[in-house]
Structure 1
Amino acid sequence: MRWTASAINKRTGAIMVAAAPLLFAPALTSGQAHAQSSGNNGVSNFLGNLFSGPKSALSPQATPGPDGAPPPWSGEDGASGHPLMTASAIREAAANFPNCVAGMWPDAARRGITQANFERFTAGLEPDLRIMDLMDSQPEFTKAIWDYLDILVNDNRLARGREILAKYKPQFDAAEKAYGVDRYAIAAIWGIESNYSTQMGDRNVVQSTATLACVGRRQAYFKDEFLTALEILNRGDLRPEQMRGSWAGAFGPTQFMPTAFKRYAVDGDGDGRRDVVDNAADLIASTANNLKKDGWQTGQTWGFEVVLPQGFDFMLADKAKAMTFAQWQSRGLRRADGKPFPNATDKVYLLAPAGAAGPGFLMMQNFRVIMKYNPAEAYAMAIGHFADRLRGGPPFVQPWPRQERVLSKAERLELQQLLAQRGFYKGTPDGQFGGQTREALRSFQASIGAPADGFASSDVLERLRGR
């Protein structure tokens, strides 16, 4: 599920890197690979700018050309170093693009797509090679989680979310009854993925997925997405003009990849179509169905902000080390708002996204479900917190360590190299932080008597430099 160091979001096509405590780096996604595209002007683009990599979940914004049109492909090798991302390989694949598309007709026929529709929906297709630059884009800087939350969970978006909840109350009522999924979570995903349908991306989904199916390093994955996009059009659920979205093919207000649409989309109002783009009943029901099938627990929240005691062992802040609420309480954890935990026997895990200097969170099953929608901790926290705020809940209680400086790509690379020199990091330094870097940091911190929180701070870098 990863592209090299990153993971590709199966739902949205987004490529993501595991979030480290301070720096989050999805290689590409916006909510189920949602975030996987730079053509997506919503969270996909935003996340791509925040994180290293192309959604969702989240992709880099392309700088328009002088006439306002998207810039052309750079003509350069991709940063990944993959043999299919060299300039010569891209040019060769682009030259063969018509043959590649035509060669997928037998597979399309096996899926029930008529020859007339195959020819209609692929007529005049040309590869969008700018996608190759977006696929391998690696921003110089990332965002700290508090900046990310500030941008996505803001007063304007909350106000619009409350309007949406009121406007479509019957549709939310119906979906909540049918699927048992919290309406506020659905509204939060809608708001963060597309800013309530105002930023859904403007790339042709068929063209984008066809390009990726024939050019670059993920052809097998995107061949399925391309053929599934044709199935959607062949069935008549959506019209071609509705299938516009991110460069990775995620479309609609909650950013479905074609294969995610095939798995989760439902007809919410009984009109015979599954229109997740312009039909609120279908959109809300389909998003609810997605969460339900991924394991949503009715009546539960996503997690709780907690206060950690002095001298806490941060080696316990690991999703593989789940314990009951009662066990966490015995270790001195308490809810930040002073309220009791709901069920002492529920198993949860601890997340400390800003290390020892920031708040902690005990995460429940529904947080894991949101992570399936988009595998980035920062994204899942934004969805959960946004849902709480829409419900009328308060901001987080404890402050974030806003004095911390985000490391540049060069500094992240140097940190990994120094960890490797000291024997803590066994991977290949690439400037992208994932679980292996976090564990190496923890081991180094423990060796010097510092809180082993895996937090990539400038102070840790200085300690590694021996200054």
Structure 2
Amino acid sequence: MGLEKHVLVLAFCLSVMPVVGAAEEQVKGSFSDYVATLKQLAADKGISLETINDVFPKIKRFKKAQVGKTNEPVVLATLDTYLPNAVPQSKVDTARAFYKQHQQQLITIGKHYGVQPRFIVAILGVDANFGKLGSNYSVLSVSASLAFAGEREAFYQKQFIDALKIIERDNIAFADLKSNSTGKMGLNQFNPSIYLDYAQDGDGDGKKDIWSNISDAFASIAYYLQQNGWKDSQTWGRQVKVPVNFNSNFAGLKIEKTFTEWQSLGVTRFDGSTLPKRDDMYVSMVMPDGVSGRKYLVYGNYRSLRSWKDSDYFAITVSYLSERIKFPAII
């Protein structure tokens, strides 16, 4: 093909591209059209006409909205290098000071829900920067915009409907139902669905205010863990050593054995001493970095942490921070 023909083909393609884009936009419809479909969906889901008429005129397209990631994070490191960066001494100092500041509230809530307070603080520190991430945007506008964008549309449609349910159930005004740019709300960064299922009134004032009431945020985290199997009679797990010829096929949360069974396979505490002499619980081996990396025997509470975010790196980071809060003891 000669140069002249190449130029003609390129010119044709460039002339067609805007037309195709316009056609796709026309098929998709405008944001206002999409909000109209959400209005019908809300009515179908039982949202009252009063709420619909009050809320929908206030919904605006939020172009800064970002789809939140739910999968295992991409970690360009091993736990040996990741943990010191994720939990530097400055974060440990902040966590311990934060714990001491709210110690009485944490102890009361921890006893009520059966969750050790250090884990409440560790989750808040790792996943929400101790409540400092902020919730500055309308969660309804954010979730509607994210649903309109198309990626994870069904998920964000559900968040939108559940946000409407929050307004109706808890009598929260549109302007007060705030989130960040991914649709996470409050000091503890709950999405609307999680809020509906787990938000708690931590101080007995009759409200579930995870945006400005730290007791409610603490209680909501504790209740989430409790409802996902947490037991305050146990900790999260322990780092261990394995023999050189250890079969890595034994690793994974689907495999559970007693301490005695793990001991018989050559597994020891990290200092080389024997594992606890108890067979009343079943534990699993996790090796996030493979057989050459760190190994942990983890308990039921570790699974509760994984239910919060399905990531070994997250669960181990929270657990590591919780240990730094525990030792030395905070008086």
Normalization by structure 1: what TM-score?
0.59
2:7 is aligned to: none
2:295 is aligned to: 360
**Does residue 1:219 correspond to 2:153, yes or no?**
yes
The partner residue of 1:270 within 187, 204, 217 is 204
Cα pair distance change 1:150/1:241, threshold 3 Å: farther
Give runs of aligned pairs for residues 126-145 of structure 1, distance below 5 A. Answer: 126-131=60-65, 142-145=76-79
Q: SS at the partner of 1:104?
A: helix
2:133 is aligned to: 199
Return the offset for 1:265. Answer: 0.7
1:377 is aligned to: 312
2:52 is aligned to: 118
C-alpha distance after superposition, 1:102-124 (max 9, x if no partner): 33335434666443433333324
**Does residue 1:163 correspond to 2:94, yes or no?**
no
8 Å contact 2:243–2:267 — kept in the other structure?
yes
Whose Rg is larger? 2
Give runs of aligned pairs for residues 221-260 of structure 1, distance below 5 A. Answer: 221-236=155-170, 238-260=172-194
**Mean Cα deviation higher: 329-338 or 213-222:** 213-222
Equivalent residues, number: 307
Give runs of aligned pairs for residues 413-428 of structure 1, distance below 5 A. Answer: none
Structure 2, unaligned stretches of length 5 or more?
Answer: 1-19
- Flag the structure with higher helix content: 2
C-alpha distance after superposition, 1:35-85 (max 9, x if no partner): xxxxxxxxxxxxxxxxxxxxxxxxxxxxxxxxxxxxxxxxxxxxxxxxxxx
| Counterparts of 2:267 and 2:283, CA distance in 1 | 12
8 Å contact 1:93–1:214 — kept in the other structure?
no
Cα pair distance change 1:304/1:92, threshold 3 Å: farther
1:293 is aligned to: 227
8 Å contact 2:143–2:159 — kept in the other structure?
yes
**Mean Cα deviation higher: 315-324 or 122-131:** 122-131
The partner residue of 1:189 within 104, 123, 126 is 123
Letter in 2 for 1:249: G
The partner residue of 2:285 within 332, 350, 374 is 350
8 Å contact 2:283–2:297 — kept in the other structure?
yes
Cα pair distance change 1:210/1:155, threshold 3 Å: same
8 Å contact 1:237–1:275 — kept in the other structure?
no
| Counterparts of 1:298 and 1:205, CA distance in 2 | 34
8 Å contact 2:67–2:182 — kept in the other structure?
no
C-alpha distance after superposition, 1:9-30 (max 9, x if no partner): xxxxxxxxxxxxxxxxxxxxxx
Return the offset for 1:240. Answer: 4.2
| Counterparts of 1:216 and 1:134, CA distance in 2 | 13
Q: SS at the partner of 1:306?
A: strand
Identity %, equivalent residues? 27
2:268 is aligned to: 334
Return the offset for 1:325. Answer: 1.0
Normalization by structure 2: what TM-score?
0.81
C-alpha distance after superposition, 1:364-420 (max 9, x if no partner): 1111110000001110111111111111169xxxxxxxxxxxxxxxxxxxxxxxxxx
Q: SS at the partner of 2:130?
A: coil
Letter in 2 for 1:216: G
| Counterparts of 2:74 and 2:288, CA distance in 1 | 21
Return the offset for 1:234. Answer: 3.3
8 Å contact 1:90–1:215 — kept in the other structure?
no
Cα pair distance change 1:134/1:293, threshold 3 Å: closer
Cα pair distance change 1:140/1:312, threshold 3 Å: closer
Structure 1, unaligned stretches of length 5 or more?
Answer: 1-85, 395-467
The partner residue of 2:255 within 321, 326, 332 is 321
8 Å contact 1:193–1:253 — kept in the other structure?
no
2:322 is aligned to: 387
Return the offset for 1:289. Answer: 0.5
**Does residue 1:306 correspond to 2:240, yes or no?**
yes
Return the offset for 1:135. Answer: 7.2
Letter in 1 for 2:53: E
| Counterparts of 2:63 and 2:37, CA distance in 1 | 20
- Superposition RMSD on alpha carbons, in Å? 3.0
| Counterparts of 1:382 and 1:88, CA distance in 2 | 47
2:6 is aligned to: none
| Counterparts of 1:290 and 1:92, CA distance in 2 | 43
